[in-house]
Structure 1
Amino acid sequence: MEKVRIEVDERRKKQARRIMEAIEIGMMKRLKAKEEEIEKIGKLNWALEERVKTLCVENQIWRDLAQTNQETANALRTNLEHVLAQVKDNNNHNNRNTRCVAGAGAGLLPEDVNIDNENDEDEDDDLQPNTLAAALADDAQSCCGENDDVIETGAVLGEWRSTLNDVVNHNNNKIDVVDLETTSNVRCTTTSNNTTSTINHNRLCRNCGKEESCVLLLPCRHLCLCTVCGSSLHTCPICKSTKNASVHVNMS
């Protein structure tokens, strides 16, 4: 009996040992699988962190690029506005010069000339009506030296054929523009303290003084000679400059 009992105990121990070994093997497999999963998740987490860092760097780069582009756009916009303003000023200046040359050739004041006597009251008090009218009549004969820009002759001739309304009315130290027609005579009317004087300036040839001036001398742009004198003279009788060319103006 004792021998059988010992044998049964040994079998129980062997069976228990086998069960423990099987359980241990199963637990080891599970632990190993869990460790592999943890390692895999760790690698994925590290890759995601690196991706986040890369996206942050790219975001900063794009932000800096957008700011640089915005500054460049603002600078270009400012330069464009400056260029447009300069072009507009140049166009206005050219238009004023064109009207000045055309008006001077026709014996008129430019339409956009505004004389402010309020800032120069002392000088205006000494200005006499006859002196003002004479100065305007002399200015109507030439625009030489007042404009350095090149003005097309066709535009000037076209202005001479038009009818403009300008006259200088000097009344109580203030100059106003009223009616005047482009004819062969220039009439300047001045009024000061209810006194009116009229000066007629005939547009006659400055050489012979008989025929009407109808020849424009270049480059000085003086309209001062008749047809006969224009073909014979080689210098301007007003400014004594050499004539390079001449243009016949039809004043009819």
Structure 2
Amino acid sequence: MAVEHPHMNHFSPQILISNNREMVDQGNKNVYEYGMNQMDSGLTYSIPISRKRSRESSSFDASEFLCQNNNAQFVNGNEFDSQNKGIFTFLGQDMSMQIYQQQLEIDRFIANHTEKVRLAIQVTRQRNSMRLIAAAQEGIKNKLRSKDDEIVKMSKLNYALEEKVKSLNVENQIWQQMAQSNEATANVLRLNLQQLLTQIQQQQQQQQTANDVEDNESCCGSNYEEEHHGNNNGTTTIDNNGDTLNRLCRNCGIVESCVLLLPCRHLCVCSTCESSINFCPICKSLKNATLHVNMS
């Protein structure tokens, strides 16, 4: 970055314009005598001055002398060596140190400005880097937060499924126990039913045996009693001497009675009419069983 340094006029107008010829001549003599050399700071002045002096000029135009500077260059310089460098003088005054100080101030100003710009660029870069890092961190945090939420959700779902499996296992055990208990109950009921059926069969056999014994001991006098009841009701009287007529079947009246009805134990039907009747013809009781009697 180039900084234009304003030209400063270190000379008073009274010095620049003077009617004293000797002072002007002495100044020109000093310029020719000492010359102008390059400074250590890199600032170069090339001032071409005519070696011919005009006898007719009564004054020296110092402003025209200063405007003849046509080549100025800024170069870094940090030291001033009085042994190797010449001395820039004008009108008997040494201007080298002032020019060198001004050059140092310019260099210092440029260095400070450069440092400020560098620091500003560095701060801007750091700020942009921090923004990028913050944005990346925010995106990563959002992703991690979503993953954490998903993990928590899956953990809850897994816990619910585990509890469901446990409840199903408990329910399965309960059903197994109920099935075992029902099976045991069914076995007990089956055994009781078998025992009950056995007892019923035994009772039926005992009852059948008792009925057989009672049938063998029974008499058929009830048939004759019914005949006497029939005589009292106005029916035909049968003589006691006709035993064969009294033993005829009460259903058909043709064949001799040979079947004993149970449980009333009336011997009143024949073998042919046994299957066609359900009630006793004498007492009208329900027939449960029959027993054939050999009358020969």
Q: TM-score, normalised by structure 2?
A: 0.37
Q: Which has the higher strand share?
A: 1
Tell which structure's C-alpha radius of gyration is larger: 2
